[in-house]
Structure 1
Amino acid sequence: METRTCEITSQSFAITAEEAAAYEYFDIPVPAVCPEERYRRQLAFRNEEQFFWRKCDKTGAKLYSIFPSMTAFPVVSAEYWWGGELDALSYGKPFDFKRLFVEQLLDIWWSVPRPAVRVQQVNQCTAVHDVARAKNSYFVFSGTDIDQCCYSVGVWNSKEVIDCYFVSDSERCYECVHCFGCRNLRWSEFCRNCTDSWFLSNCEDCRYCLFCTNLKGKEYYIFNRKVSPEEFDRIVREWTFTARARVEAATEEFETFLADQPFPHMIGDEPEENSGNYLYQCRSAFDSFECVDAANVVHCHWLRGARDCLDGFGFGDGLSRSIQFVNVGSGAEGVINCIECWNNVRDLVYCSYCEESSDLFACVGLRGKQYCIFNTQYSKDEYFELRARIVAHLRERSIWGKFFPANFSGFAYNLSSANFYMPLSKVPAKMLGFRWDDGDEALKPSLLMGGVEDSGGDRFAEVPQRTEALSAQHVSELYLCELSGKPYRLAAQEIALYQALGVAPPGRCFEQRHQARIKRLSPRRLRSDKSPNSGRSFRTAFPEQWRRPVAFHRDWERSVRPLR
């Protein structure tokens, strides 16, 4: 194991022998930046929370976009992007060895248009991004094969899901975090195959349960205690979850109950074969978080279906043999230092928004191309000869293998996902090289429904306190978030879901609700601990002062699960 000093924080960090071997395999130097700051840089290239009104830079049409109007590169509608009119090769320039590589890459970077949102095969959807094969959905970031979903981030193969985060194969779920294969589940976290239940944490194969944790294969339990079906129905009715005040009281009671209920040191599968947190169906996943079906990955986040990857954030789906990337997948292979590349790309380096292409170097916005450098077409022999010369040129200047600088991001720090997961104030963010946006251009979900911009902002209604009070008239009302004071509205499909699920409408805007869900997750940093029972050392992402006690997984399996 090698110890290095982070060039950003001056803190020491370790490079394991396995990591060093992986970097050698990809033929790039080991990083001079610690994993936490590398993670921050990746997040700064993502926006999974906000939309902006702006005009298409080609047609002039008004559209919603993940990029604000002052973004340096042109932004076009998804229809224009996919329509075939864009010729990204027309922006190409030959590489000049007398100029800085980063300077020339920025010329291409700021010239080639990007799509306002990335969507494919969507029907009757509004305000969705990074979404494919979706219908009747609203305000969803990162989703595939979804129907009637809204206000959620990370939803796959699901229907009628609202206010959820990282949920798959589920139906009729509300306020759920990291839940899989669930149905009729509300206010729950880290559950699998649970149905018809409320307020569950870390449960599996349970149904008709209320205020429970660490259960497996149980039914008719309340506060981890067996009750009769009649008593269960009576207590659920007494709680009256259709009233927001009762939901708030139930939330407080559940948190009090959880305060002394142990958590395993890692949520997920095979904790002795993996390290990190929230790793499901993973093998040999190290220092990684929120991954599903990933194998041989290190320092990876938000991957679903990936192999042999290092230092990446999203998304997977057949991704393999790639390093230092953001939002890459759908059959991608051999990707190095790329952002937003998908659909069977292969052997790409320093590329962005490319698809169905192979053997590209420092290209932006190409589709169905091969043997291109700086958006310029070459023959096969010309490509590999010039690529080798450029790589040698970058090695001499200690640039080769480094990720994109902060100023390449299309988002100011406070408008990026980095500020949600790793908040910074303006001065520290700018000291790290990130931009900051002092404007208030972010588009509230309410504005997407029309009419709010003309309302004058002087008419605000009181949010209905009970589900029974909801009606079609509430679609036209404007409400104020009880925490931020920002305006928001209730969409028609949103009201229909509240009524179908029997839950009270929220008194807070989407941004505050999403932040609350993120805060339920552990930090992306591991610490060492030791089991008081077995003396076994382990690493966990849960801090010492977590909201509930943490136990070594093996001790937890022996002492907690058997009692349930």
Structure 2
Amino acid sequence: MNTERIIETKICKHCHINFDITDRDLEFYDKISPSFSWIKYNIPSPTLCSYCRHQRRLSFRNERYLYKWKSDLTWKDVISMYSPDKLIKFNEQSEWWSDKWNPLDYWLDFDFNEPFFYQFERLFKNIPHSSLLNASNENSEYSNYCSYLKNCYLLFDSSNCEHSHYWYNVWNSTYSLDSIVISSCENIYECIDCINCYNVFFSQNCNWCRDSYFLDNCRGCLNCIGCCNLSNKQYYIDNEFVWKEKYEQSLKKIKNNFIKHKEYYLNKVKNYPKKYAFLIQTENVYWNSMISSKNCYSCFDWIYFEDCKYCSNWSDMKDTYDCESVWIWSSLSYELNASMRADRVLFSFGCWGSNIIYSISSTWNNLFWCVGLHNNESYCILNKQYTK
């Protein structure tokens, strides 16, 4: 990535800062440009800088504000990410996925005399949407952008979790509270960027730690308090070894006046030298909070990225630019939000499948300008079925 050559410097149309287009960027845009009837339609380089593109993607999604409102199909009360003042139809999730309605019934003929976005807006407002964006959750009604949860409350952008509350971007974890960017942890509280930890509290950037408090950038630590930049240590307080008896006495004292000691240790940990970034098993990665990734620039949060730029949240992406919360074997996608198993999906939201362009909440393959298709439809434009 450090061998990229700047081809052009542009001025962002929104914030007016300069940003560069490199030879690698142009190769990517050419690689993902779609072809129809053997004619390639080249995707141009962006007119907004990466920061403004990121803001634009985030402005379209609402995952954390939930409302009580009525389903347009059954009029029963449901929890929804759409506020009552929005002119949007929605169904409760199970209703939306059911065969009680057919998204192909809302099709439009494409009018070449009218701008595309006006037609797409009509379809978007006319068709019902899912009240929340979840999959296979159990007893976790107040969560959003989640999958495979059980007995969870107010989790967002998370997957495979049980008996946990108040999380964001958490994966494969149980019995925990108030944490963000967590993977494979149990019994943790107020933690950030932690992996494979058990019974850890008020800690950040930790891996394989256990029964510890107030840690920062520690690996394989056990029974430690107020430590920073340690690896494979046990019975340490303030980065110094203590005997087991002294550790247990100190821990008892902390628990008797927890708020006071919490403030003391968190302030003390702040003064330790910090590593420039939280990177584990990475190669040629430029940003922060990345694990097992290679050749990535301006990516963060989190694991198994390769040859990506301007991407964040979740895992398993390759050859992808400008994506948010995309995971599970996704590749060759661009300007994509809240999607999974995406291959050659462009300018879309909440989609999974392949060869999807300008679509929302649609699944399967070969879709163009579609909304709400979820019954394995293919070769559709504006929800109208066509032959291949």
* TM-score normalised by length of structure 1: 0.64
Deviation at 1:289, TM superposition (A): 1.3
User: Counterpart of 2:189 in structure 1: which amino acid?
Assistant: Y
User: Counterpart of 2:386 in structure 1: which amino acid?
Assistant: Y
Determine whether 1:337 maps to 2:337: no
Q: Deviations over 1:27-54 (max 9, x none)?
A: 2111010010001011112223221111
Deviation at 1:340, TM superposition (A): 0.7
CA contact 1:48–1:153 (8 Å) conserved in 2: no
Name the CA distance, whole Å, in 1 between partners of 2:380 and 2:141.
35
Equivalent in 7, 11, 14 of residue 13 of structure 2: 7
CA contact 1:3–1:13 (8 Å) conserved in 2: yes
Q: Deviations over 1:183-225 (max 9, x none)?
A: 1011111111111011111111111111111111111111111
Aligned runs of 1:78-117 on 2, under 5 Å? Answer: 78-117=93-132
CA contact 2:287–2:300 (8 Å) conserved in 1: yes
Equivalent in 230, 235, 239 of residue 220 of structure 1: 235
Name the CA distance, whole Å, in 1 between partners of 2:333 and 2:283.
25
SS state of the match for residue 120, structure 2? helix
Number of equivalent positions: 372
Name the CA distance, whole Å, in 2 between partners of 1:37 and 1:214.
35
Relative contact order (C-alpha < 8 Å, sep 6+): which is higher?
A: 1
Q: Deviations over 1:265-313 (max 9, x none)?
A: 2211356610111111111111111121111111101131111110111
Indicate the residue corresponding to 1:296 in structure 2: 307
Determine whether 1:324 maps to 2:335: yes
Deviation at 1:126, TM superposition (A): 3.2
CA contact 1:295–1:306 (8 Å) conserved in 2: yes
Deviation at 1:259, TM superposition (A): 3.4
CA contact 1:148–1:159 (8 Å) conserved in 2: yes
Name the CA distance, whole Å, in 2 between partners of 1:313 and 1:121.
21
Name the CA distance, whole Å, in 1 between partners of 2:217 and 2:336.
31
Indicate the residue corresponding to 1:353 in structure 2: 361
Indicate the residue corresponding to 2:39 in structure 1: none
Name the CA distance, whole Å, in 1 between partners of 2:136 and 2:199.
27
Equivalent in 99, 110, 130 of residue 145 of structure 2: 130
Name the CA distance, whole Å, in 2 between partners of 1:271 and 1:295.
10
Determine whether 1:33 maps to 2:48: yes
Aligned runs of 1:297-446 on 2, under 5 Å? Answer: 297-329=308-340, 331-342=341-352, 345-355=353-363, 357-367=364-374, 368-380=376-388
Deviation at 1:84, TM superposition (A): 2.0
CA contact 1:288–1:300 (8 Å) conserved in 2: yes
SS state of the match for residue 123, structure 1? coil
SS state of the match for residue 350, structure 2? strand
CA contact 1:148–1:160 (8 Å) conserved in 2: yes
Indicate the residue corresponding to 1:263 in structure 2: 274
CA contact 1:315–1:328 (8 Å) conserved in 2: yes
Determine whether 1:230 maps to 2:230: no
Unaligned runs of 5+ residues in structure 2 are: 1-5, 34-42
Indicate the residue corresponding to 1:506 in structure 2: none
CA contact 2:295–2:308 (8 Å) conserved in 1: yes
Q: Report % sequence identity.
A: 27
Unaligned runs of 5+ residues in structure 1 are: 381-564
User: Counterpart of 1:183 in structure 2: which amino acid?
Assistant: Y
Name the CA distance, whole Å, in 1 between partners of 2:148 and 2:32.
34
CA contact 2:154–2:167 (8 Å) conserved in 1: yes
Deviation at 1:109, TM superposition (A): 1.2
* TM-score normalised by length of structure 2: 0.93
SS state of the match for residue 201, structure 1? coil
- Is the strand fraction higher in 1 or 2? 2
Q: Deviations over 1:322-357 (max 9, x none)?
A: 11111111x221100010113xx11100001012x1
Per the alignment, do residues 70 and 120 of structure 1 end up closer, same or farther by CA in structure 2, a change over 3 Å counting?
A: same
Q: Deviations over 1:418-452 (max 9, x none)?
A: xxxxxxxxxxxxxxxxxxxxxxxxxxxxxxxxxxx
Q: Deviations over 1:108-149 (max 9, x none)?
A: 111111111122222222301122222111111122221101
Aligned runs of 1:539-550 on 2, under 5 Å? Answer: none
